[in-house]
Amino acid sequence: MFRLLSRHGKRTQSCLTSQRRYEHHRAVIAIRREDINPWERRAPLAPRHIKELTNAGVKVLVQPSNSRAIHEKYYMRAGAVIQEDISEASLIIGVKRPPEEKLIPRKTYAFFSHTIKAQEANMGLLEDLLKKEVRLIDYEKMVDANGYRIVAFGQWAGVAGMINILHGLGLRFLALGHHTPFMHIGMAHNYRNVSQAIHSVRDCGYEISMGLMPKSIGPVTFCFTGTGNVSKGAQDIINELPVEYVEPHELKDVSETGDMTKVYATVLSRHHHLMRKSDGIYDPLEYEYHPELYTSHFRTSVAPYTTCLINGIYWDPHTPRLLRRTDAQRLMRPPKVPPAATEGSPVLPHKLLAICDISADTGGSIEFMIECTTIDKPFCMYDADQHIDHDSVEGNGILMCSIDNLPAQLPIEATEYFGDRLFPYIWEMLPSDATRPLDEEDFSPQVRDAVITSNGVLTPKFEYIEKLRERMEKAQILKKAGMKRVLLLGSGYVSGPVVEYLTRDEKTQVTVASVLLKQAEELAAKYPNTIPVTLDASSQEGHLDSLVKDHDLVISLLPYSFHPLIAKHCINRKVNMVTASYLSPAMKELQSSAEEAGITIVNEMGLDPGIDHMLAMECIDQGKADGCTVESYSSFCCGLPAPECSDNPLRYKFSWSPYGVLLNTISPAIFLRDNEVVSIPAGGSLMDSTLPMDFLPGFNLEGFPNRDSTKYAESYGIETAHTLIRGTLRFKGFSKAMSGFIKLGLINSEPCPIQHLTLWRDLLCKQIGLSSSISQDAFEEAVYERIGKDELAMDTLRWFGMLSDELVPRADNVLAALAKHLEARLSYDKRERDMIILRNDVGLRHPTGELETKHISLVVYGDPTGFSAMAKTVGYPAAIAARMVLDGEITTKGLVVPMTKEVYGPALARLKEEGLHFMSKSSLQE
């Protein structure tokens, strides 16, 4: 504490200088709402800190929050402006990390990011900070010249943690058959303030001093590790009990013969338990530089005589652990000579009953603390013999409390304490401009050395994070020997069936790499042998290469534009690859390189392309084997909402990229009809080429051609066909409704940034050359004229709120804004299901002269509680292809598409096993 006060004294003059600098300059700072954890009720600054800022002419914005412990009216009285939009501020501060999607680009932020140890849970946040060119000041790295943290909640973590574990001890003693005075103490957050909590602790202490502790449990002993603010805060609470402090080596005696009218405590420093492995000596200077040479004898010298361990030490992977799993097993053994006991006065099963790990370092100094507890579920029992923990205070084991946001239980005091330590540095943070180079900022070493990201890169002190992260990932991926390792790129719509199918084999391990770590973690939680990692393939080529190197096969479910890049890394690392996307010209250029590398790259292994190819080739190859000539080929496919879920003007919902769906409506198309090449130009004519499709009349479908169908004459070996068309299906009405968007110029990907608070009505006026001041009636009449007086198209615009004052989503162009707007209204509800329809019609001329048309249909419905139809029909083919490559069933090197019998034969058979049933009928014509 003295060190902190001294440090603040040194900064007083510079703070005053900075304060004067802002007396005539309107700086803007914002306090963001804490929205990651419902228990997070703290703020980085209290109202009295805000008052100083506003008095100096600084504008302070505070996001409204009903969960903040200090009411916003007190911030308003201090001069803050309470408002949702904080984009005006150049400096945005909080306590905990914001959600990635709420980060505002090119701003300076200050919060606890928990990224400095490459914590996987926060790597997605780090990626977003870099991508959005945010300057991050991390409180955890604000330290003084001696390396001590100067902006922290440590003391209040100790206070709350100690209150909690005393409450937990009361519950644990009760579960073991003993009522104790600890039952008077509640959880820290149940008190209005710390004074109330201390009153309860004193009540407990009074009863202990009166000799009301059960004799059969023996003297209660506490061990505090560390001498910093955390440990001191915890000791402040135990000091309210009748406590006697002893040296660690004295703990054995007092634990056996101590006075039952008091409790005993010891404070463990490094010299008490650390010793060099070679000779048992402790050298503090050597330990600072070579902690790996040391071990701890805590497990034998102190732990056996400790009732409750309060752990507050920082742990590094190179430093010795206090307790390992094997130590816990020994400490849980009952005493060799148990004291006399009766049914009403039972003895304790072992001395060490509870651990409060305030450091909350999972897998750290307490090795078996592998998952933090939470404020709403604060305790679990660790059973070392079973190596499990369960949410209880009963049964065998050691009571564990390891909450990682303890100060949130005492939010008002914690806010005041933290704000006092942060406030002197706010003045130099205020002028920070995240668009300027970091070197141009006038930061003190305490602030400069805490900047983790700036200008889109990790700062030099923190460049190690990327390497550390890769090492940690590598260790996790390679942990299990004898596994076939698959790297799955993407965690979106269709990833689930891929992971589910591949991990049925216990010898297959899947690494799910995604920009959205939460999605990858959800997959990993559902399926065995699945590892989630964060990866942005567009900006982390080095990380991508590292992951590719550690796997046997890569499945890319990323957009097709990424595939050439990924394929090049696979070729370089001699790793096989599978994609569900079309074989692009850029991929075709890699044919010889893939062959030379001796790898297989399977393409077009999804639904369309994929299943459509396999059904076509099965029919065509069989027809040729029967001596037939192919005269016509027609294939239409779609992903649609099930009919009962199609209640919107487009009769459509998105199961893949909305941007791609919309862009396809203005694409060109080429197909062959009665030996005549039909070409549809780009720009919107495609929607005018839609025809009714009555092969499944109950569905009321329409269809339009898709891309260049004529190239499949050579691919399928059907140059004899006079008609060849591949197309897209929609429910009838889609093309008319979509034509309205096209005629209004909304399917336009030209750069045209949509500004904040733009209205749809104003955007449409701009698109058709009207003044935004035009009357509503005249506006709607002009729109009606522009879309060709089409009632359905007009009703569509009304349904989507685009003739009103609804806001246009912010985007880089009009098409992207429309895609966001439609996606928000046309996404699947959890209870809704999608479906896919695929129809192939193959005209075969038999040697006898008969014309047989094979009608092959596939209709698949999604399962609202399982996989969508799109996920099944894209994911399972890709997974099956991956399995075939892993097992050596596909041996062809280079680029492979599923048009040969050795691929489509087994694949179609296995798709049937997954519930995809193909219907085939024939019609004959003389």
Residue 387: its pLDDT value, please? Answer: 63
Residue 819: its pLDDT value, please? Answer: 87
Question: Is 863 one of the catalytic residues?
Answer: no
Token code pair at residue 212: 């009301």
Residue 750: its pLDDT value, please? Answer: 80
Residue 341: its pLDDT value, please? Answer: 61
Residue 18: its pLDDT value, please? Answer: 44
Give one DSSP letter per residue of 494-547, joined into a string: THHHHHHHHTTSTTEEEEEEES-HHHHHHHHHHSTTEEEEE--TTT-HHHHHHH
Other beta carbons within 10 Å of 792: 14
Residue-level length of the chain: 926
CA-atom Rg of the chain in angstroms: 34
Residue 100: its pLDDT value, please? Answer: 86
Ranges of the chain with pLDDT below 70: 1-25, 336-342, 386-389, 656, 755-757, 926
Please name the residues in contact with 694: beta carbons below 8 A apart, sequence gap of 6 or more: 701
The single residue of 608, 612, 834, 841 carrying the catalytic annotation is 608
Residue 926: its pLDDT value, please? Answer: 65
User: β-pairing, 59-62 with 81-82?
Assistant: parallel
Q: For residues 409 and 158, give the distance between their C-alpha atoms in angstroms, rounded to a whole number.
A: 11
The torsion defined by the Cα of 761, 762, 764 and 768, in degrees rounded to 10, comes to 130
Per the listing, tokens 């909305």 go with 658
Measured at the CA of 427, the angle between CA 426 and CA 431, to 5 degrees, comes to 105
Nearest CA-CA partner of 399 in 407, 389, 409, 408 = 389
The torsion defined by the Cα of 600, 604, 606 and 612, in degrees rounded to 10, comes to -130
**CA 743 → CA 538, 654, 714, 782, distances in Å?**
34, 22, 36, 12
Nearest CA-CA partner of 128 in 493, 517, 433 = 517
Please name the residues in contact with 16: beta carbons below 8 A apart, sequence gap of 6 or more: none
Q: 325-361 b/e with 16+ CB inside 10 Å = b?
A: eebbebbbeeeeeeeeeeeeeebbebbbbbbbbbbbb
Token code pair at residue 406: 């303890």
Q: For residues 474 and 481, give the distance between their C-alpha atoms in angstroms, rounded to a whole number.
A: 13
- Provide the 3-class DSSP secondary structure of residue 485: strand
Angle between helices 194-209 and 229-238 (to 10 degrees): 50
Point out which residues pair with 633 in neighbouring strands.
724, 842
- Provide the 3-class DSSP secondary structure of residue 229: helix
Asked whether the beta carbons of 600 and 891 are under 8 A apart, the reply is: yes
